């Protein structure tokens, strides 16, 4: 077995407690396939994280891009910064792995596609949810054919938006999109993994409850339902409802797989995974796996390591950049209430 040279990574957006500092940095240093060489942010806090991990601090993005030691830039900045920073990274000759969502507008998808085509760098999205233990457990059940051939996927989330202390944050504005865009990429990417096919069409409807506390509702649409068609004929119904007006109301969610011989259900009301087959009693399976926090951290590490392998051998791993683009297109079309034909 050939020795794997660790891929040298710098993380942009690591100036305060966030996904970059709480998930990216620990996952990188845990991996034998990655080497953390620097952290970047305009915030002063980046100096503290650099000292904590014994790496370089970049107060300007250009400094990170000019550093020949950096092979991969992980972009973990606010959503509306992603497209420009990804393009800058690719044009500087770096490989780039960007936090979801890929971008904040439909037009930016083609800008990023074009940048990837004309540069030599690999581009990927950090989609760790497909690597969570329960997600992989559900995928294995589907591949084993426990409910026959998969026909349809239902996935529902009802709850609050992500709470922020700063009500002036751009995350509360319509221009920043919605919780559907911020978190929906995980939902549709994982569904594409379950379906073993890319989404190819959508019918969407969205709405907004304007009454309630700002930290719960925001100013963008807080209800989206999308009926999605996948390339192999499967369908999916996805609902993201953050219209809740009170923090006292319970949140819940579930995913249900309908097959030719039964269904699988995971979510509200049961601890494990229910398998229901025609003519048989319901079975509840225990997925097992690590504690939630460790599971999340492992999922980030796996996502980073797979991208590192792509950097070294040039072979793109799932989900792949083009699938991520297609998922984002479907999210935007659904939010706009558009119908996209197959």
Q: Which two tokens stand for residue 83?
A: 């497209």
Each residue's pLDDT tens digit, 4-53? 899 999 999 999 999 999 999 999 999 999 999 999 999 999 999 999 99
Residue 166 has pLDDT above 80, yes or no: no
Task: Note the pLDDT of residue 338.
Answer: 63
Residues contacting 164, CB < 8 A, separation 6+: 171, 172, 215
pTM for the whole thing? 0.93
> To the nearest whole number, what is the mean pLDDT of the chain?
92
Per domain, the residue ranges of the chain are: 7-126, 130-290+327-336
C-alpha–C-alpha distance, residues 126 and 186, integer Å: 9
C-alpha–C-alpha distance, residues 90 and 97, integer Å: 10
Q: Percentages helix, strand, coil for the chain, rounded to the nearest 5?
A: 40, 25, 35
Task: Note the pLDDT of residue 227.
Answer: 97
- DSSP one-letter string for 32-79: TTEEEEEEE-SSTHHHHHHHHHT-EEESSHHHHHH-TT--EEEE-S-G
* Residue from 223, 253, 221, 227 nearest 241 by CA: 223
User: What would you measure as the largest C-alpha separation in the chain, in angstroms?
Assistant: 64
C-alpha–C-alpha distance, residues 169 and 176, integer Å: 10
CATH 3.40.50.720 assigned to domain 7-126? The reply is yes
Each residue's pLDDT tens digit, 228-267? 999 999 999 999 998 877 777 778 899 999 999 999 999 9
Homologous superfamily (CATH) for 130-290+327-336: Dihydrodipicolinate Reductase; domain 2 (3.30.360.10)
């Amino acid at each position: 077995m050939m020795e794997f040279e660790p891929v040298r990574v710098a993380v942009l957006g690591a100036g305060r407690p966030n996904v970059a500092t709480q998930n990216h940095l620990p996952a990188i240093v845990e991996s034998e396939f990655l080497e953390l060489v620097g952290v970047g942010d305009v915030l002063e806090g980046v100096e503290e994280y650099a000292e904590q991990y014994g790496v370089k601090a970049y107060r300007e993005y250009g400094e990170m891009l000019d550093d020949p030691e950096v092979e991969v830039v992980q972009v973990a900045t606010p959503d509306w910064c992603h497209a420009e920073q990804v393009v800058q990274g690719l044009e500087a000759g770096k490989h780039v792995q960007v936090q979801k969502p890929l971008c904040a507008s439909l037009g930016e998808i083609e800008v990023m596609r074009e940048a990837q085509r004309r540069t030599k760098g690999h581009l990927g999205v950090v989609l760790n949810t497909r690597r969570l233990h329960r997600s992989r457990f559900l995928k294995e059940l589907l591949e084993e054919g426990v409910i026959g051939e998969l026909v349809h996927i239902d996935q529902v989330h009802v709850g609050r938006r992500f709470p922020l202390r700063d009500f002036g944050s751009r995350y509360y504005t319509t221009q920043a999109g919605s919780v559907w865009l911020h978190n929906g990429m995980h939902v549709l990417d994982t569904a594409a993994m379950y379906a073993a096919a890319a989404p190819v069409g959508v019918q969407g409807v969205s709405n907004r409850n304007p009454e309630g506390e700002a930290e719960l509702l925001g100013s963008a649409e807080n209800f989206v339902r999308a009926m999605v068609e996948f390339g192999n004929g499967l369908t999916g119904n996805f609902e993201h409802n953050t219209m809740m007006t009170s923090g006292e109301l319970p949140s819940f969610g579930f995913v249900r797989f309908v097959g030719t011989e039964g269904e699988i259900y995971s979510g509200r009301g049961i601890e494990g995974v229910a398998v229901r087959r025609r003519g048989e009693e319901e079975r509840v399976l225990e997925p097992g796996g690590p504690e939630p926090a460790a599971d999340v951290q492992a999922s980030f590490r796996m996502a980073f390591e797979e991208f590192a392998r792509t950097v070294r051998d040039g072979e793109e791993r799932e989900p792949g950049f083009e699938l991520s683009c297609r998922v984002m297109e479907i999210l935007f079309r659904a939010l706009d209430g558009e119908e996209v034909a197959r």
